[in-house]
Amino acid sequence: MNQNQDYTTIVKKASSRIEEIIIGEEMLINMGPQHPSTHGVLNKVLKTDGEIVDEVFPQIGYLHRGLEKIAEKLNYHQFMPYTDRIDYLGAMNCNLAYAMTVEKLANIEVPKRAEYIRVLMAELNRIASHLLFFGTMGMETGAFTPLLYGFREREQILDLFEMTCGQRLTYNYIRIGGCSDDLPNGFIEKAREFCNVMEKKIKEYHQLLSYNQIFINRMAKIGVLPPDLAIAFGVTGPNLRASGVNWDLRKNEPYSVYPEMDFAIPVGTGKVGTIGDSWDRYFVRMQEIEQSVRIIRQVLDKIPAGEIRAKVGRVFKPPAGEVYVRAENPRGELGFYIVSDGSQNPYRLKIRAPSFSNLSVVPEISRGTMIADFVILLGSFDIVLPEIDR
Amino acid sequence: MNIQEIADKLKARFGESVNFQDNPLAPFVRVKVDTIVQVAQFLKETPDLYFDSLMSLTCVDYPANFTIVYHLFSMRHLYKVILKVEVPKDNAMVSTVENIWRAANWFEREIYDLFGVKFEGHPNLIRILLPDDWEGHPLRKDYQYPATYHGVPL
């Protein structure tokens, strides 16, 4: 008994001595500007205590091009290619959001066929974006194969886009009042084929990565984002839904022909960890791919014949006024706020980018995580830097 | 509740400090610069309004003033409201709403960076997109493009 007590006091003494030695000063680490977990150029200054992250200071702006200032110098048609470069992984969605804003401003009626084509393209682009996320998320957890798998399927989508508009990354396809070209011959068949492939492959993804125990151990309970914090910071899109908030503009504030589509909104359930953890953010996106395939199938079945573009003059002057329109992008709500003074150029154009707000919550929830987990946490938010910096 | 009814509620509470403008595309509530925090707090904390989401916060450079535009949304009730605050050009300063909507933290830094409007009480009002040593605020209409940056011709 006495011996035992002595032993405990010795251990206590020793551990307090060790603490004295170990607890040194905190260290600042620069992560980035180039780092595998950034899909772009982002510098994070980490204040660390050993392996633990105390504080994160994201330094953004490396890709700032002044899009909002450029917009003031261009007319409404000319700004369309620039919207491709807001979120280059969801360029169709950005095109669509901008076109919808200008159409609302000028009260332009879009032909039905064009609306269907737009939704088709937007959903294809959503899948392409999530496939890239699937690949990079795998990379960040140390698996290389998912990237190859993701790119293999993404390639098919890019082929479809190339068929349609000749571009594989920055499409500039959707126009104010419709689309630039009609669907080419053979597109519908090829898109159906893609849906069949995608539905099969997604099961393979789940086997390979989603339910892989190593992957779950890396992802579960990392970077838990509570729903109230997410809303307070303006986090949107899959990141918000992963926190258990059933919120999707395609359902809650429907635009285009989404009301005619039958699809579900996946939300985070904390299946392998806590609601709102990194795995939930990953899994919501995987489920969204399935739902997007459902939408694409319905569009392909229902797409009507007809015009693909409303008549919008080259000299296009919307009436004076202002409008704010938001749309559900792969990364969340992309909003455009346009103030028109009745001239050919916007007086002011503000881009409310989803990744901007999504990144702003990262310092808040990364306190106390390990550095290695911080990489996972940041990767699971699927930020795109050109969109943050604009 | 539409924006008219929300504006009436604000009017009953704040009187002359708020002013409803019924423009057809985007009706908005004009708020006097010194009452914006109280109005924001009221909108956020009244249970039957509960504007918990700040969709967008931006600024427009009009010839007469800077106008700060708040797009608010209530995820619980699905209400929308637009607030506008006019800030004089010679003293571009407005109180922060960062402690009401955390999202405002970066939005306000962006406005400070690009327009030079200061937010009183903001915990970390530094440039966000441009380098710290950048001169001027590019989204101002009277912005002069620099000829060089650190000796490099642009």
Strand B28-31 and strand B53-61: the pairing is unpaired
313-332 of A, contacting B, C-beta below 8 A: 321-324, 326
**What residues of chain A lie within 8 A of the CB of B142, using their CB?**
none
Query: Is B100 contained in some domain?
Result: yes
Query: Is B149 contained in some domain?
Result: no
Quick check: A352 and A255 in contact, CB under 8 A? no
Put simply, whether A251 touches B (Cβ < 8 Å) is no
**What residues of chain B lie within 8 A of the CB of A360, using their CB?**
102-103, 105-106
- State the pLDDT at residue A50: 79
Kindly tell me the burial class for residue A109, based on how many C-beta atoms sit within 10 Å of its own C-beta (0-12, 13-18, 19 or more).
exposed
- Report the gap between the CA of A352 and the closest CA in chain B (Å): 6
- Among partner residues A104, A350, A360, which is closest to B105 by beta-carbon distance? A360
Task: Show the beta-strand stretches assigned E in chain B.
Answer: 18-21, 28-31, 53-61, 65-73, 80-88, 93-95, 118-120, 148-149, 152-153
Query: Is B148 contained in some domain?
Result: no
Pairwise CA distance, residues B84 & B67, whole Å: 6
Quick check: A270 and A280 in contact, CB under 8 A? yes
Domain ranges of chain A: 67-389
Report chain A's terminal Cα–Cα distance, integer Å: 69
Pairwise CA distance, residues A316 & A344, whole Å: 6
Domain count across chain B: 1
Q: Would the CB atoms of B106 and A339 count as touching at under 8 Å? A: no
**What residues of chain A lie within 8 A of the CB of B129, using their CB?**
60-61, 64, 389-390
Phi and psi dihedrals of B41, rounded to 5?
Answer: -60, -45
Task: Specify the CATH number for the domain of residue B98.
Answer: 3.30.460.80
- Which of A272, A377, A302, A361 shows the shortest CA–CA distance to A112? A302
Q: Would you write out chain B's pLDDT as a tens digit for each of its 154 residues?
A: 777 788 778 778 788 777 888 787 788 888 888 888 888 888 888 888 888 889 889 999 999 889 999 999 888 888 888 989 989 988 888 989 888 888 899 999 999 999 989 998 888 888 888 888 888 888 888 888 888 888 888 7
Q: What is A67-389's CATH number? A: 1.10.645.10
CB atoms within 10 A of CB B110: 24
Nearest CA in chain A to B56: A352
- State the pLDDT at residue B50: 87
Q: Would the CB atoms of B103 and A348 count as touching at under 8 Å? A: no
Query: Is B76 contained in some domain?
Result: yes
pTM of the model: 0.87
- Among partner residues A229, A324, A389, which is closest to B129 by beta-carbon distance? A389
**What interface predicted TM-score (ipTM) does this complex get?**
0.89
Q: Would the CB atoms of A233 and B103 count as touching at under 8 Å? A: yes
Secondary structure class of A243 (helix, strand, coil)? coil
Any idea what the Cα angle at residue A183 is, between residues A177 and A189, rounded to 5°? 145
Query: Is B154 contained in some domain?
Result: no
- Among partner residues B25, B102, B103, which is closest to A321 by beta-carbon distance? B25
Domain span holding position B23: 3-143
Query: Is B57 contained in some domain?
Result: yes
- Report the gap between the CA of B11 and the closest CA in chain A (Å): 23
- State the pLDDT at residue A1: 47
- State the pLDDT at residue A58: 87
Phi and psi dihedrals of A175, rounded to 5?
Answer: -115, 165
Q: Would the CB atoms of A357 and B55 count as touching at under 8 Å? A: no
Query: Is B152 contained in some domain?
Result: no
> Could you say which residues of chain A have pLDDT below 70?
1-5, 7-8, 10-11, 14-24, 34-39
Q: How many CB pairs under 8 A join A and B?
A: 78
Query: Is B153 contained in some domain?
Result: no
